[in-house]
Amino acid sequence: MISLNPNPNRSIRTAAVLGSTGSVGTQTMDVIRELGLGVTMLTAGENTGLLAQQIREFTPSIAAVASENAAKRLRDEIGSGIEILWKKDEVLDAVRTTSADMIFHSVAGLEGIGYALAAAESGKRVGMANKEAIIAVGDLIFDTMARSGGEMIPVDSEHSAVYRCLEGKDMSDIRKLILTASGGPFKNRTWEQLKSVTPADALNHPTWKMGKKITIDSATLMNKGFEIIEAVRLFGMPEDRVDVVIHHQSIIHSMVEYNDNTVMAQMGHPDMRDCIRYAASAPHAAPVDGKGLDFAALASLTFAKPDTEAFPLLEAAREAIRKGGTAPTSLIAADEEAVDAFLKGEVGFTDISSLVMEVLTKIPVSYTMDEETVLAASAEAKAMCRSLISQR
């Protein structure tokens, strides 16, 4: 698990941003601009247009992209004066040896595992937005950080909230963690009604602005299932003491229940930048412009139990963490393939859940936990899911 005592002596003046052109990455750049941080390194995939704009504004010394062609396009756009990397081993080495005071990790999916381990080796503070790496190889990351002297502060809104509620506390005083879920766009719909959902419907999230994959995962509640596993990894809390409650307003970001039945909640406007900002400023809260919560205007906050019949992936996630080993990795990998197929119109919305659960029942589980084994399990689960899709 992570330390619940952020180092107050870390002075965060410069940052490296992994995945700077994605949804969380662009919000991270907003926070960096707001806090006046310097930038030493930016990494992206193939979006060289946006990356070039960021380079011109923040003038990092290193930029990294996903392919040689992307590197050539970027060089054409920005000219000389910056080191451009594209080979994976060189990019990871740059992460390990970065001069930045802090690394923001927002590379999405299981692709982020290598970056997470490299960031852990750096000995720096890591603002972690990639839940998949924590779910798949969390213990490896934490062990690496213990050796390097690094520290992690979660950027996921729910885990940032739990972290702030637990900060400086003794975990023996905690009865359970309560993760809130917006419920996505399909509250009160039955499994039969969900069969007709289109990608456009599922991408219309009522509260959060996110990338396509995580928005679909929010609609299926798979994302909340991932967050259950992430909470187990981050905070060392058993799965059966991590609850989920539907809270449509997304004002309470998560809660912690103590042994004496009292509950502490972290509240705020639904804005990822608050979590990103705290990762950089912890243990202090950086001042921001704008209005705080107006409780009179909120009028009411509502809560409900999740419908696990209509949204069975919540229970699939619990089953995966109970199995342990590579089962959570297979869950992630199968979901990536199923969501991609749904977005392409190859399968229906409820097929996502059915495919993921079928893969979990068929895939073998390994309890050798290293990067190579985990990536092999991911490839096997993806291949099995694609095979099942082709049979439909």
Q: Looking at residue 208, what is its pLDDT?
A: 58
| Cα–Cα dist 220/202, whole Å | 9
Q: Looking at residue 210, what is its pLDDT?
A: 66
Q: Cβ distance 225 to 237 under 8 Å?
A: no
Q: Give the start-to-end residue ranges of the domains of the chain.
A: 14-155, 324-392
Bridge partners, 176 (sequence order): 257
Q: Cβ distance 82 to 61 under 8 Å?
A: yes
- Domains 14-155 and 324-392 in one fold: no
Edge to edge, what strands does the sheet with 263-267 contain? 242-246, 174-181, 252-258, 263-267
| Cα–Cα dist 156/146, whole Å | 22
Nearest to 62 by CA among 83, 86, 48: 83
The string over 77-110, giving b where at least 16 C-beta atoms fall within 10 Å of a residue's C-beta and e elsewhere, is ebeeeeebbbeeeebbebbbebebbbbbbbbbbb
| Cα–Cα dist 2/145, whole Å | 9
Q: Cβ distance 135 to 108 under 8 Å?
A: no
Q: Looking at residue 195, what is its pLDDT?
A: 85
CATH of 14-155, one of 3.30.750.200, 3.40.50.720, 3.40.190.10, 3.40.50.2000: 3.40.50.720
| Cα–Cα dist 308/319, whole Å | 13
Angle CA(179)–CA(349)–CA(19) in degrees, nearest 5?
60
Bridge partners, 84 (sequence order): 63
pLDDT per residue as tens, the chain (392 positions): 898 999 898 999 999 999 999 989 999 999 999 999 999 999 999 999 999 999 999 999 999 999 999 999 999 999 888 999 999 999 999 999 999 999 999 998 888 999 999 999 999 999 999 999 999 999 999 999 999 999 999 998 899 999 999 998 999 999 999 999 987 778 778 888 888 888 888 887 666 566 788 888 988 999 999 999 999 999 999 999 999 999 988 899 999 999 999 999 999 998 899 999 999 999 999 988 888 888 888 878 999 999 998 899 999 999 999 999 999 999 999 999 999 999 999 999 999 999 999 999 999 999 988 888 999 999 999 999 999 998 87
| Cα–Cα dist 118/320, whole Å | 26
* Tokens 């729910």 -> residue: 158
CATH of 324-392, one of 1.10.1740.10, 2.40.110.10, 1.10.3720.10, 3.40.605.10: 1.10.1740.10
Q: What pTM did the predictor assign?
A: 0.90
Q: Looking at residue 209, what is its pLDDT?
A: 62
Q: How far is CA 55 from CA 72, 316, 362, in A?
A: 15, 42, 46
| Cα–Cα dist 330/355, whole Å | 12
